[in-house]
Copies of this chain bind each other. A is one copy, B any other.
């Protein structure tokens, strides 16, 4: 029987916890992230872990956390979303629960979940982009997310697709996130709407309405979506050329916004890769694990580390 592991997915707005067996999640609980009050974060996570442990017999914990994670020491080096620096979270959880925990960053946790049970199941190498407010990116290469020693960061949303280009939230210029996030799509559409009226004039913008207007033939939406897809495809082509992964997984709101979105991106990536005779090797799939990806992936990581 599959061993049950408790998965913790720490986000900027909420913390989700569940007992994970295989790809199934039981007893899922969610509560608002208590700001950057580290003691309170640890208390509330530990409280839920202890309850779930009694219910399920689980004795191992996996934690997914945004930012730079030193997995060897179980330490959050730096997390922008939670606004904390140098937190020995695994030790704090151990002190409150008695259980060992392993921590990895959230984007790689999601990639591990898709790799183990979802859209990349059965592959050796996978890269996942989450197209939302920002562009998240996690990967599994030769059986594990890449790391520097055992310190994890996954900032593939900040690969530079236009040196010297648009200012990004990270302070650099030309990052993929500055072109391929929902935020970027909306901002680009707004700029175009100042010069040209459109079906979108006066509407509240989000990725879905922009793609709908594009499908209705609206010129502003068509220009914005076309630019969006070309930059996203440039980012994916870059990663393909570098890493040659068997599958790309796209998640996040934008990936559901347009009809045939995945097909269109795939076609455009095929025109941009180095080995164009190999175009049919480009495989891009929708994420399959949904909101449970973080919890499941954190549990997958804990199990992998425990075996080492």
Interfacial residues, chain A to chain B (CB-CB below 8 A): 68, 77-78, 124-125, 137, 139, 141-144, 146-149, 151-165, 170-172, 174-175, 179, 230-231, 234-235, 237-239, 241-246, 271-278, 281
Q: Main SS of the interface on chain A? A: mixed
Are B159 and A159 in touch, CB under 8 angstroms? Answer: yes
| CB atoms of A174 and B137 under 8 A apart | no
Q: Which of B142, B149, B170, B273 contacts A144 (CB 8 A)?
A: B142
**B154–A244 contact, CB under 8 A?**
yes
The smallest beta-carbon distance between A252 and chain B, in angstroms, is 17
A13 to B278, CA, bound (A): 25
**Contact assessment for A78 and B152 in the assembled complex, using a CB-CB cutoff below 8 Å:** no
Number of copies: 2
* Sampled A-B contacts (28; CB under 8 Å): A77-B278, A124-B147, A139-B242, A141-B142, A142-B142, A142-B144, A142-B146, A147-B244, A148-B281, A153-B241, A153-B244, A153-B274, A154-B242, A155-B242, A155-B244, A155-B273, A158-B241, A158-B274, A159-B238, A160-B161, A161-B161, A162-B163, A162-B174, A163-B230, A163-B231, A171-B276, A172-B272, A172-B274
Which residues of chain B have C-beta atoms less than 8 A from A147's C-beta?
Answer: 124-125, 244
**Smallest Cβ distance from A99 to chain B, in angstroms?**
27
Instruction: Among B124, B162, B237, B275, point to the contact of A162 (Cβ < 8 A).
Output: B162
CA of A164 to CA of B174 in the docked complex: distance in angstroms? 13
List 7 additional contacts besides A155-B241, A162-B162; criterion CB under 8 Å: A68-B275, A142-B146, A148-B281, A155-B242, A158-B241, A161-B163, A172-B273
